[in-house]
Amino acid sequence: MTLSYDELRALDARHVWHPFTQAATSPPAILALGARDAVIYGADGREYLDLVSSWWVNLHGHSNPAIARAIADQAARLEQVIFAEFTHEPAARLAARVCALLPGDLDRVFYSDDGSTAVEVAMKMARQYWTNTGDDRTVFVAFDGGYHGDTVGAMSAGHSSGFFGAWENMLFPVEVAPFPATWDGDEDVEAREQRALLALDEIIGRHPRRIAGIIIEPLIQGASGMRMCRPDFLRALESRAREAGTLLILDEVMTGFGRTGATFACLKANITPDLICLSKGLTGGFLPLSMTVAREFIYEAFLGLDIGRAFLHGHSYTANPLGCAAGLASLDLLQAPDCQARIRAIEDIHRHRLPGLVARHPALTRPRICGTVAAVTLPGEGYGSALSARLKKNFLERGLLLRPLGDVLYLLPPYCIEDTQLHRAWDVIDGVLAKL
Ligand SMILES: Cc1ncc(COP(=O)(O)O)c(C=O)c1O
């Protein structure tokens, strides 16, 4: 039985609970009929240019035929298998390929399902690493405004992002250091970095041999408003982590797979973490999959005759073969010269368009660009503010899927977006800002 647009929307409104949404005040969800490349086709007859890569997952555009084919081929061979006694070709090959792209001896991949679980795994691994090596280190250090996902460890590390007020009493304490956010034309960045490092030193000094790990979103803090830091700060942070003898955990759930212009932010910053969390773009946006990649010495600390030394963590769909096949196909596309050229072209267009926008709208501040991500701060309030809702509505009416993060307007398009589409987006943004 075919259902009409209205019937489907009524079913959704009656039975579906949408994420990060206040259903009492939000308009009903748009019914997506399909999507191709950078465009989502709504059942309302509209086309929406996806400028947020559908929550930052979609690298190569929607319904990419190569990834779709890889998933279909894999589904016909092996759709899922328990990943304890068994392994399979896509999991082994994808792990090897990602490790080959990462710096140093980040050589051990632990698969899980999404960004939150990749972070949760990293934190649990760090905690148990110290237990296994006879050191009782329990303290984690995170950065102001950091967001790491919605499981309890990830929320604890990300509590300063402000998203988790409702669960404050479920979280464990995490030390928070300042994040020296910067932008184009920022003249105080070095002083801010020094203050952040001093604060970090103070935290480290208060917990001698007690810090299990330091976790950061490198180069760009996503959810708290595309706040960017300099590679220099990350290099100084890496030195502090080494001096303190603790583990450096990079959450590259958003920054991974080309977003910052390099395949990984750690490569752009020239640092080597001990644990790195990857998800979102891992499957090109087709399927939920993530990995926590550990350096070899961490893996070795879990070996022994005692089952209690092992990492007793896993998920039903760990290393799902369809997700891994999608990951391999997505990596093929990412590494192709034309995709690399598109990544550079997107950054060039951002650099060409953002200064003009800021010049025409003096209320805009803190323009910033890192790779394919461009952001600017509006005068306004926080997440879910009336202004951001109004902007979102205006953009949707003009065929742009943009989701301002509170007072931050940002673009994070799929790499397949065409120059004309991206220029049109900047034109529409200009027009909407002029109107509002
Ligand atoms: C940096 C970062 N870490 C972790 C997460 C959580 O990922 P997921 O929503 O897939 O659980 C996100 C999600 O936005 C993120 O941006």
CA–CA separation, 88 and 91 (whole Å): 6
Nearest CA to 291 among 263, 336, 248, 327?
A: 327
**The ligand 1 atom nearest the CA atom of 223:** 16
To which residue do tokens 């490198």 refer?
Answer: 218
For ligand 1, is residue 115 a contact (CB within 6 Å)? yes
Per CATH, the architecture of 5-63+338-435 is what? Alpha-Beta Complex (3.90)
Tell me the β-bridge partners of 108: 294
* pLDDT of 384 higher than 70: no
Higher pLDDT, 311 or 25: 311
The answer to whether 5-63+338-435 and 67-334 have equal CATH topology is no
What spacing in Å lies between the alpha carbon of 219 and ligand 1's midpoint?
A: 15
**pLDDT bucket at 425, cuts 50 / 70 / 90:** very high
What spacing in Å lies between the alpha carbon of 188 and ligand 1's midpoint?
A: 29
Nearest CA to ligand 1 atom 7: 115
For ligand 1, is residue 219 a contact (CB within 6 Å)? no
CA 23 to each of CA 7, 40, 137, 397, 409: distance values in angstroms, whole numbers, following the listed order: 18, 22, 42, 20, 23
For ligand 1, is residue 148 a contact (CB within 6 Å)? yes
Is CATH 3.40.640.10 the right assignment for the domain spanning 67-334? yes
- Give the tens place of pLDDT for each residue, 39-94: 999 999 999 999 999 999 999 999 999 999 999 999 999 999 999 999 999 999 99
Listed by start position, the domains of the chain span: 5-63+338-435, 67-334
**pLDDT bucket at 381, cuts 50 / 70 / 90:** low
**The ligand 1 atom nearest the CA atom of 149:** 6
Cβ neighbors of 144 (< 8 A, separation 6 or more) are 160, 176, 177, 178, 179
What spacing in Å lies between the alpha carbon of 229 and ligand 1's midpoint?
A: 18
Q: What is the mean pLDDT of the chain?
A: 96
Predicted pLDDT of residue 360: 97
Predicted pLDDT of residue 197: 98
CB 359 within 8 A of CB 367: no
Predicted pLDDT of residue 298: 98
CB 176 within 8 A of CB 142: yes
pTM across the whole model: 0.97
* pLDDT of 389 higher than 90: no
For ligand 1, is residue 218 a contact (CB within 6 Å)? no
What spacing in Å lies between the alpha carbon of 80 and ligand 1's midpoint?
A: 24
What spacing in Å lies between the alpha carbon of 222 and ligand 1's midpoint?
A: 9
Interior/surface letters 201-220, b for 16+ CB within 10 angstroms, e for the rest: eebbeebeeebbbbbbbbbb
CA–CA separation, 128 and 109 (whole Å): 16
**The ligand 1 atom nearest the CA atom of 288:** 10
What spacing in Å lies between the alpha carbon of 20 and ligand 1's midpoint?
A: 13
**The ligand 1 atom nearest the CA atom of 116:** 11
What spacing in Å lies between the alpha carbon of 254 and ligand 1's midpoint?
A: 7
For ligand 1, is residue 37 a contact (CB within 6 Å)? no
What is the DSSP secondary-structure string of 388-404?
A: HHHHHHHHHHTTEE---
Cβ neighbors of 176 (< 8 A, separation 6 or more) are 141, 142, 143, 144, 159, 160
What spacing in Å lies between the alpha carbon of 136 and ligand 1's midpoint?
A: 28
Nearest CA to ligand 1 atom 3: 148
For ligand 1, is residue 414 a contact (CB within 6 Å)? no
The sheet with strand 47-50 has its strands ordered as 32-36, 39-42, 47-50, 400-401
